[in-house]
Amino acid sequence: GFAAYDRNNIDARLQDQTIIYQAYGSIKDNAAEVPTSTAPYRDSHIVLTAFHGNVLVVGQVPTKEYRNTITAVINDTDDVLNVYNQLNVAQPTKKSIQAKDSWTTTAVKSAFISDEEVQSADVKVLTENGVVYLMGYVSPAQADGATNAARRVKGVKKVVTLFDYTEDTTLQTTA
């Protein structure tokens, strides 16, 4: 028989979810300290995801200063190793674009199924305004497979990779 080795174990997934929850809470708490009439949070579209303590933040904010504040707030969150701030200073995207981004994320994940190199559990996918972000702990071959699969999806403007690499390409061990 064999035992499967999951590099993204349940403890790491729970820790990532806790990071996201705490970071969103801190961002909202920070916004509560600003008078409502000038609160930049209200005029923002902020999306967070995390993988093994690495946090990706995408979306739109009204000012560069608020973009920097978001980075500082997330950096102060427990267990955060790195913050990849991909926020743009712009008006929030329309709901129709956000819906298309959700579809694109699903299409990219589906494209992984046909690629033997890519283990979808090892790659986190987030799409914002047509830009696909890929995060994970993968081998170089898996990274190439995931990147190429994402590039082939209709509607993808650009693929940004934020991978941590391992040379270990074996996902199974014999017992």
Cβ atoms of residues 73 and 30 within 8 Å: yes
pLDDT of residue 5: 44
**What's the pLDDT score for residue 8?**
56
Parts of the chain with a pLDDT under 50? 1-5, 37, 169-175
So what's the pLDDT on residue 10? 85
Q: By 3-state DSSP, what share of the chain in percent is helix, strand and coil, each rounded to 5?
A: 45, 30, 25
Could you give the CA distance from residue 29 to residue 77 in angstroms, rounded to a whole number?
A: 13
Residue 42 confidence (pLDDT): 81
pLDDT tens-digit series, residues 6-40: 555 788 889 999 999 999 999 988 876 665 545 67
Would you state the pLDDT for residue 138? 92
Rounded to 5 degrees, φ, ψ at 155 are: 95, -5
- Which contiguous run of DSSP H or E holds residue 143? helix 140-151
